Amino acid sequence: MSEKWQYLIVLGLCLAVTAPLEFFGPGVYRQPRRLVRAVLPVAAAFLVWDTVAIRAGVWTYNDAYITAVHLPFRVPIEEALFFVVIPLCALLTYNAVTAILDRSRRR
């Protein structure tokens, strides 16, 4: 398999590892409206930052490890997914920690 999938595989692993956290409390995937409203505005802001940084040459991506599917302005598709996947992982963590703390407080 090509090394080009590396970045996507890393993101996939992040989703796989955090997926079971959905079983705690009210969950994150089960609140799709709240999820979209929390993730989308921040993802949009960071995507703009990313675009500017790529254009200004602050950072670039190694073509060996990305799929070569790009959004406009040469932003790799992996970057757009990063801004969804990482917040999802954080929300799932926060959801689980909150549920566990609530449970221990009720005891």
Contacting another protein within 30-69 (CB under 8 A): 34-35, 37-39, 41-42, 45-46, 49, 53, 56-62, 64-66
- Residue 69 tokens read as 């599917």
Q: Which of 60, 74 has the CB closer to another protein? A: 60
As given in the structure block, the two tokens for residue 58 are: 């602050």
Q: Is 5 in the site for another protein (CB under 8 A)?
A: no
Q: How far is the CB of 72 from another protein (least distance, A)?
A: 19
Q: Contacts by 59-68 with C-beta closer than 8 Å and gap 24+?
A: 61/7, 64/3, 64/4, 65/3, 65/4, 65/6, 65/7, 66/4, 66/6, 66/7, 66/8, 67/4, 67/5, 67/7, 67/8, 68/4
97 binds another protein (CB under 8 A): yes
Cβ of residue 18: shortest distance to another protein, in angstroms?
9
Using DSSP, state whether 29 is helix, strand or coil: coil
Residues that bind another protein (CB under 8 A): 6-7, 10, 14, 17, 34-35, 37-39, 41-42, 45-46, 49, 53, 56-62, 64-66, 83, 86-87, 89-91, 93-94, 97-98, 101
